[in-house]
Amino acid sequence: MEDHGEPRDYLKLHFLVFLWGFTGVLGELIDLPSVELVFYRCLLASVTLSVILRHKLRVPIGRAVAMFATGGIIGLHWVLFFLAVKIANVSVCMVGAATISLWTALLEPVMVPGRVLKRMDLAFGALVIAAVAIIFQSEMQYAVGFLVAIAAAIAAAVFSIINGAFAKHTPHRVIAWYELTGACVFCALCLPISARWLSEGRGLDLVPGPMDWVWLVVLAEVCTVYAYSEYVSLLKRLSVFTTNFANNLEPVYGIILGGLILGDYHHLGAGFYLGAALIAVLVLAHTRMSRRKRLTIG
C-alpha cells in the first residue's frame, strides 16, 4: 500500500507517537505487574468503546474472529512492552521498540501476497538499528529487558501488518473494540502465569492503588481509546511501514519524558543524543521521500 495521506495525517501520526512515548512512563508509574496492567488498560478501553459504539459493532463473523484473535497479538505486545519497562527501565524498553521498522520491512513481504521487499525500507530499518545500537551501547547490563522489548517490537510489526488489511473494510473504532476486547481476554488467560512467574512474589495483584487508577485511566482513555483508534484510522491512508517508521520517534519521546518525569537523566549521555538525532533525521527523511513518491505517482 502506498501513502495517500495529507499533511495533517502525518502531523496526527507524530502526535499519536508522542502519546505512545508517554506509555513507558505510565508503565513505570503504575504499580502493577505487566499482565495485570495491560488487562486493566484493555478492559477500561473496551468498556469505553462499547459505550461510544453501542449497536455499531456488527461485522461478518469471520472478520470479527480475525480481529478478536489479532487482539491477542496486541495483548502480547503490550505485556512484553511493560515487562521490559519493569525488568529494565523506560530507556531500554523504548530503544528496543524502535526496531519495529526493520521487522516490518522484513515481515510484510512474507505476510502480504504480492508485496516485495523494498530496498529503501530495509535500508532505513537497518539504519535505525544502527541508531539504536548507539543509544544502547552503555546499557548492556539490561540485555534481557532489551531482548524482551525487541520481542514486543516483532509482535507490534505483525499486528500492524494485519491491521493494514482490516482498515480497508471496517471503521477504525470497531476494529479497536474487537482487538482491545481480544487483548483483554488474552491477558485474563495469562493472569495465572503472571501470578506464578511475573509478579515478583506478589501473586495475583488485581487491586490497583488510588494513583494507579488515575494513571490507568490516562493510559486507557488517552493513550489507547483515542490514540489506538486514530492510529488504525490512519492506516487507511498511510502505509504500514510509514506508520511504524514514525514510531521510531517513540523511544526519543519516551526517554525524554522519562528523564523529565522520572529523573532518568543519567541515561541521557552523548550516545543517546547522537542516536536520537539520527532516528529523528531518518524519520523525517523517510516521511518526505514517501510523500514525494506519492505525489509523483499521483
Domain span holding position 135: 7-297
CA 190 to chain centre: 20
Do residues 90 and 258 lie in contact, with contact meaning Cβ atoms separated by under 8 Å?
yes
C-alpha span between 175 and 169 (Å, rounded): 10
Total domains, the chain = 1
**pLDDT score recorded for residue 171:** 87
**pLDDT score recorded for residue 298:** 46
**pLDDT score recorded for residue 148:** 93
**pLDDT score recorded for residue 247:** 72
**pLDDT score recorded for residue 138:** 60
Q: Which residues of the chain have pLDDT under 50?
A: 297-298
Q: What is the SS3 assignment for 210-252?
A: HHHHHHHHHHHHHHHHHHHHHHHHHCCCCCHHHHHHHHHHHHH
C-alpha span between 252 and 50 (Å, rounded): 33
Answer whether residue 207 is part of any domain. Answer: yes
pTM of model > 0.85: no
**pLDDT score recorded for residue 41:** 96
**What digits encode the pLDDT tens for the residues 131-160?**
877 777 766 677 788 889 889 999 999 998
Distances (CA, A) of 215 to 23, 41, 89, 130: 10, 10, 18, 34
Answer whether residue 2 is part of any domain. Answer: no
Answer whether residue 246 is part of any domain. Answer: yes
**Which amino acid is located at 242 in the chain?**
T
Give the chain's length.
298
Answer whether residue 98 is part of any domain. Answer: yes
Would you call 184 exposed, middle or buried from its count of C-beta atoms within 10 A (0-12, 13-18, 19+)? buried
Contacts of 67 (CB under 8 A, 6+ apart): 59, 166, 170, 175, 178, 179, 182
Of 225, 12, 248, 274, nearest in space to 126 by CA? 248
**pLDDT score recorded for residue 297:** 46
Mean of all residue pLDDT scores within the chain: 84
**pLDDT score recorded for residue 115:** 80
Q: What angle do CA 253, 254, 260 make, to 5 degrees?
A: 90
Would you call 222 exposed, middle or buried from its count of C-beta atoms within 10 A (0-12, 13-18, 19+)? middle
Backbone angles phi, psi at 61, to 5 degrees: -60, -40
